[in-house]
Structure 1
Amino acid sequence: MHFNKLLILVCLFTFFLVNQASAQVEDTVSKATDTLKSRNYRPMKVDSPKVMTRRDSVKSKYVNPGKVAGRKAVLKSLILPGLGQIYNLQLLNDGSRAGKNLTFQRIYTIGKIGAIYGGFTVLTLSYIESSKQYDLYLKELQYRNNNGGKADPNGPFIKADGSEFSTSGITTGKDTYRRNKQIVLFSYGLVYIANVVDAYVAARLHFFNIDDKLSFRAVPTLINSNSMYSFRAMPALKLSLTF
């Protein structure tokens, strides 16, 4: 009886040990790794397509150097009279007309700068003189208006024999000098505009192909002298210029 119980206990203990051993083996065996998941894939770098802009798709336009130079000359002349002519003088030294004698053009350009400031100087002196005379005549008229038409004894409008200049003559002189002042101011504007136009034209002409090849051709021809319904031929001379 005791032997049977002992045998049963040994069998149960053996079964328990076998189960523990199998569980230990299953825990220690590593699972097969998924090679597809564990593999490190580097992302492929795909170049993004180049975006075409309007500037890339449109062909570059031709830039006229004469227009660019003309705009620069106008801007400089507007800022300071004569500065556009100095810019044109620099264009003559850029080497684009190598082999040509540009001495006369340089002298001519420098002369235009002198003429511009000479004109402003003459106009300024004329304006100062006209203003001085206008104030003098106006002062005399104001004195006569306040003193019953009598001339200022200390003024310059009394002749050597003691007679006075007429009031109407002094009024005419005042109006003349006032008009001279207005003409001088208008002339300032003309010189200023002429300075801008000259700078622009000279800058544009610098990039024209101007050479010494000038020729003409005279060919006899016939023209219609009747402009209504019939043709009446008249001899004429056709002149063609090539430059």
Structure 2
Amino acid sequence: MKKHVVLAFAICIISAGAAFAQGTKAAVDRESDSLIVESQDTVLLKTYAARYNPRKALLYAAVLPGLGQIYNKKYWKLPLVYGGFIALGYAINFYQDGYINYKAKLFSNLENGYTGDSDIAPGDVYTTSTYRNVVDLYRRQRDFMIVLMGGMYLLQLVDAHVDAHLKEFDLNPQLKVSWYPSVEYNDLVGRTSGVSLVLKF
């Protein structure tokens, strides 16, 4: 009887030790973020932690425009981001210079007494009213370009965030969308021409 109890106790301890060892091995495998399946090919499955983090992409893009696109490895978007900022910066500078220039001419006309809408200063071709309109136009365009610059900043933030989210999805390489010219004959209408859109899954 004692032999059976000792034998049962030993079997329980050995099974508990084996279960503990398997649990420890599983925990080690989870910490390494990978699972290796031994066969002819080795398959590495990465966990979510190894994928692109949308918050990190958003933070990088907020700190420096274009850095979120670099984090997502979409380098072809960098010329679009920086080209947009450079073009908008050039437009803001252009309208700011025009605004300062025409405002100085408007103030010069007003200081010299050419306050009427049809008054033209000697050696000038524009009236005071024209200068007022041009100053308003340049100021409005400059402010609009500043708003577009803010919109460009927000757009690259959204692009980096959404692109990091979309990295999780794999597209089917067989997915294909194409269009072809088509000609059909109908007894009622006759010949009709058009375009066929073909989706392949």
TM over 0.5: yes
Residue among 100, 107, 113 paired with 1:135 = 100
Aligned to 1:193: 154
Residue among 58, 65, 71 paired with 1:74 = 58
Aligned to 2:80: 115
CA distance in 2: counterparts of 1:195 and 1:204, whole angstroms: 14
Relative to structure 1, the CA distance from residue 71 to residue 115 in structure 2 (aligned partners, 3 Å threshold; closer, same or farther) is: same
SS in 2 for 1:211: coil
**Structure 1 residue runs of 4 or more that deviate by more than 3 Å after TM superposition:** 63-68, 150-154
Relative to structure 1, the CA distance from residue 142 to residue 203 in structure 2 (aligned partners, 3 Å threshold; closer, same or farther) is: same
Which amino acid counterpart does residue 171 of structure 1 have in structure 2? R
SS in 2 for 1:125: helix
Which amino acid counterpart does residue 79 of structure 2 have in structure 1? G
CA distance in 2: counterparts of 1:78 and 1:134, whole angstroms: 31
Contact 2:120 2:127 in 1 (8 A): no
Aligned to 1:85: 69
CA distance in 1: counterparts of 2:76 and 2:120, whole angstroms: 49
Give CA deviations for 1:122-175 in whole Å, capped at 9, x if unaligned. 111111111111011111111111111065657xxx2xxxxx312211111111
Following superposition, the deviation at residue 178 of structure 1 comes to 0.2
CA distance in 1: counterparts of 2:83 and 2:200, whole angstroms: 38
Relative to structure 1, the CA distance from residue 66 to residue 199 in structure 2 (aligned partners, 3 Å threshold; closer, same or farther) is: farther
Which amino acid counterpart does residue 69 of structure 1 have in structure 2? N
CA distance in 2: counterparts of 1:73 and 1:131, whole angstroms: 34
Following superposition, the deviation at residue 207 of structure 1 comes to 1.2
CA distance in 1: counterparts of 2:200 and 2:56, whole angstroms: 31
SS in 2 for 1:74: helix
Relative to structure 1, the CA distance from residue 129 to residue 153 in structure 2 (aligned partners, 3 Å threshold; closer, same or farther) is: farther
Aligned to 1:32: none
Aligned to 1:5: none
Larger strand proportion of the pair = 2
Following superposition, the deviation at residue 214 of structure 1 comes to 3.7
SS in 2 for 1:78: helix
Q: Which protein shows a greater Rg?
A: 1
Contact 1:140 1:152 in 2 (8 A): no
Contact 1:66 1:207 in 2 (8 A): no
Following superposition, the deviation at residue 211 of structure 1 comes to 2.0
Q: What TM-score, normalized by structure 1, do the two folds share? A: 0.48
Which amino acid counterpart does residue 138 of structure 1 have in structure 2? K
Alignment identity in percent?
33
Relative to structure 1, the CA distance from residue 189 to residue 66 in structure 2 (aligned partners, 3 Å threshold; closer, same or farther) is: farther
Give CA deviations for 1:201-224 in whole Å, capped at 9, x if unaligned. 111111112222449xxxxxxxxx
Q: What TM-score, normalized by structure 2, do the two folds share? A: 0.57
Structure 1, unmatched stretches of 5+, are 1-62, 90-108, 159-163, 216-240
Which amino acid counterpart does residue 167 of structure 2 have in structure 1? H
Contact 2:57 2:69 in 1 (8 A): yes
